[in-house]
Amino acid sequence: MSAIIEAADLKKTYGTIIAVDGIRFEVRKGEIFGFLGPNGAGKTTTMKMITCVSPRTSGALRVLGLDPDKNPAEIKGRLGVVPQETNLDPDFTCFGNLFSYSRYFDIPQEEAAKKADELLAFVQLQEKRDVAVEKLSGGMKRRLILARALVNNPDLLILDEPTIGLDPQARHLIWEKLRSLQAQGNTIVMSTHYLDEAARLCDRLVIMDNGKILVEGAPADLVKQHVGHEMVEVEKSAEVITCLRDLGIPFEETGDAIQIATDSSREIARILLEKCKPEKFTTRPATLEDVFLKLTGRTLRE
């Protein structure tokens, strides 16, 4: 597949602060590509460079075959952007927001009105067509922002935390629409703090920290490579810790629990019962969250 975005040795600095530190990645046509990382990792800065909002300090970057520093207007005309903040125009209805936004792209009025109604139907807001934005729920506003991003039939859709603050029903509806857009051939780049969302939607993703890319790949492959298939969680006690150390079984302490990554939870469970005799333990499939915490740590970032 051809590359929609290509970055090599991409760097962004703010004075002495290195926000993005020489990263390399590519986004292929028709895929959903994710940026993950704790606060301050550099993912939002990277997306700002892609969307021509912030110029790069050094390195190479091509978006839709164009240089963001030399062709920002042409690139922006082919992008659809869903920002993290809700920035709809409160002076307009749902239809009015889409119709007025279309004017930025010189779409004829008749075509713009038709497109606005089609998009309202796509995000299941046709019944709210003439309702003021301030009367919408949070989930409805996020769906309307997604519809707005599609007004110009973009070649590349950029989403920054698309389901932030939404309830499960609203999140699943957004996921359904993103999958539908991908099925139609759209290329989507997204950032999210919801690891289950990334695992469900992304064909490939990168995990960033301190301005660098730590890993890149398909979610399932990253889980297999860095954690394993399963996790055994044991109630933490000094006796269990000593037992595991004596047995040479690698583990990680996480708050009031001990986690053991394994490809055979049954064998670990048998050893625990026979040798360590914990009061309580559970087994579960390994997840992308396990990979994220292993690579970026468990310290809270502000």
* pLDDT of res. 235: 85
| pLDDT at residue 10, as a whole number | 97
What is the three-class DSSP state of 247? helix
Nearest Cα to 202, choosing from 216, 212, 213? Answer: 216
Sheet holding 252-254, edge to edge: 252-254, 257-262, 230-235, 281-285
Count helices and strands in the chain by DSSP H and E runs = 11, 13
Return the pLDDT at 268: 87
How far CA 104 is from CA of 52, 119, 148, 157, in Å, comes to 17, 17, 12, 17
Q: Residue 89 phi/psi, 5° resolution? A: -85, 115
Domains of the chain in start order, with CATH, are: 3-218 (3.40.50.300), 229-285 (3.30.70.260)
- Contact of 49 with 218, CB cutoff 8 Å: no
Can you tell me the distance from the alpha carbon of 13 to that of 68, in angstroms, rounded to the nearest whole number? 17
Residue 299: what are its φ and ψ, rounded to 5°? -75, 135
Between the alpha carbon of residue 105 and those of residues 78, 83, 281, the distances in Å are: 10, 18, 58
Q: How far apart are CA 119 and CA 113, in angstroms?
A: 10
DSSP bridge partners of 233: 259, 282
> Distance between CA atoms of 138 and 118, rounded to whole angstroms?
21
- Find where tokens 């969680």 sit: 233
In this prediction the pTM is 0.89
Residue 41 exposed, middle or buried by CB count within 10 Å (0-12, 13-18, 19+): buried
Q: What is the pLDDT along the chain (302 residues), one digit of tens a residue?
A: 579 999 999 999 999 999 999 999 999 999 999 999 998 899 999 999 999 999 999 999 999 999 999 999 999 999 999 998 889 999 999 999 999 999 899 999 999 999 999 999 999 999 999 999 999 999 999 999 999 999 999 999 999 998 988 888 888 999 999 999 999 999 999 999 899 999 999 999 999 999 999 999 999 999 999 888 888 988 888 888 888 898 888 888 887 888 888 888 888 888 888 888 888 888 889 999 989 988 887 665 55
CB 227 within 8 A of CB 215: no
Q: Which amino acid is at 123?
A: V
- For residue 161, report the phi and psi dihedrals to the nearest 5 degrees: 50, 65
Radius of gyration, alpha carbons of the chain: 23
CA angle 13-16-17, nearest 5°?
55
Structural contact between residues 243 and 275, judged by C-beta atoms closer than 8 angstroms: yes
Contacts of 185 (CB under 8 A, 6+ apart): 30
Quote the pLDDT of residue 236. Answer: 86
Neighbours of 240 (CB within 10 A): 20
Q: Are the CB atoms for 186 and 95 separated by under 8 Å?
A: no
Tokens of 284: 């579960």
Answer positive or negative: Cα dihedral of 167, 168, 174, 175.
Answer: positive
pLDDT for 278 equals 85
pLDDT at 272: 87
Residue type present at position 97: N
